[in-house]
């Protein structure tokens, strides 16, 4: 897998919300919802990895051992992650989308949820393309799936999930505080989105470095 191309994908993806707030009038909701939908996309691709992970020993790779498919474990993982996605979606939509939104017109929240936001959709397309690339180049083509354990991808609360959980809670509280308690309400969107994107980009780059070094 090309490390430079992988880093470029991470940076471009995490810049989408900043472009949104700078040129397309995005509020914190769009950024948080954007990254939260990304977690669901990643869960789908991790479910595929779980299904195809063979957990073979190095000596077994060239023995033509029959492949084993972990369908039950993959589907169970995806179902649990989807339920977690729905649970936190309520918080994001209600508190960050409606209560903390500085716009009087909340219709943008609805249009974004139903994929009528072109920049939002473009960003998700970048995410899907990135995950396809990681799956093909960094999992199947180099044979990682033969030695990978399904449990390597089956964590319900991985590092990215935890970062997003904390960010969602702090982002919702921070947005409300900036809007209602300070004179920086007009800049709350820029502050919240920029901090979120920077922190998430750093985390993704560090996580990508670990994956490259471990070969998984």
Q: Is 114 helix (H, G, I), strand (E, B) or coil?
A: coil
pLDDT on residue 12: 92
pLDDT on residue 33: 92
- pTM of the predicted model as reported, rounded to 2 decimal places: 0.85
Q: How far are the Cα atoms of 83, 168, 198, 205, 207 from residue 4, in angstroms, in the given order?
A: 34, 30, 19, 11, 14
Q: CA-CA distance, 187 to 203, in Å (whole number)?
A: 24
Contacts of 11 (CB under 8 A, 6+ apart): 201, 205
The owner of tokens 């789908």 is 44
Domain boundaries along the sequence of the chain: 3-214
Q: Which residue has the higher pLDDT, 14 or 212?
A: 14
15-25 residue pLDDT tens: 999 999 888 98
Which ranges in 2-147 belong to alpha helices (H)? 3-23, 28-52, 71-91, 107-113, 118-135, 144-147
46-103 residue pLDDT tens: 999 999 999 998 878 877 788 999 999 999 999 999 999 999 899 889 888 887 676 6
- Taken as a whole, the chain contains a residue count of 216
The owner of tokens 């820029």 is 190
Greatest mean pLDDT among 36-50, 90-104, 149-163 lies in 36-50
């Amino acid at each position: 897998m090309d490390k430079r191309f992988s880093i470029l994908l991470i940076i471009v993806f995490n810049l989408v919300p900043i472009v949104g707030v700078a040129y397309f009038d995005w509020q914190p909701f769009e950024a948080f919802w954007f990254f939260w939908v990304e977690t669901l996309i990643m869960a789908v691709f991790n479910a595929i990895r779980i299904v195809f992970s063979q957990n073979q020993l190095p000596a077994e790779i060239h023995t033509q051992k029959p492949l084993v498919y972990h369908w039950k474990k993959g589907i169970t993982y995806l179902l649990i992650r989807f339920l977690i996605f729905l649970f936190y979606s309520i918080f994001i939509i209600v508190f960050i989308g409606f209560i903390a939104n500085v716009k009087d017109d909340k219709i943008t929240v609805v249009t974004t949820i139903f994929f009528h936001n072109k920049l939002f959709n473009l960003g998700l397309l970048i995410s899907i393309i990135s995950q396809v690339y990681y799956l093909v180049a960094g999992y199947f083509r180099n044979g990682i799936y033969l030695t990978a354990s399904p449990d390597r991808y089956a964590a319900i609360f991985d590092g990215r999930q935890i970062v997003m959980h904390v960010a969602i809670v702090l982002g919702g509280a921070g947005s409300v505080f900036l809007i209602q308690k300070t004179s920086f309400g007009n800049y709350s969107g820029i502050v919240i989105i920029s901090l979120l994107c920077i922190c998430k980009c750093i985390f993704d780059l560090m996580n990508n470095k670990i994956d490259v070094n471990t070969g998984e």
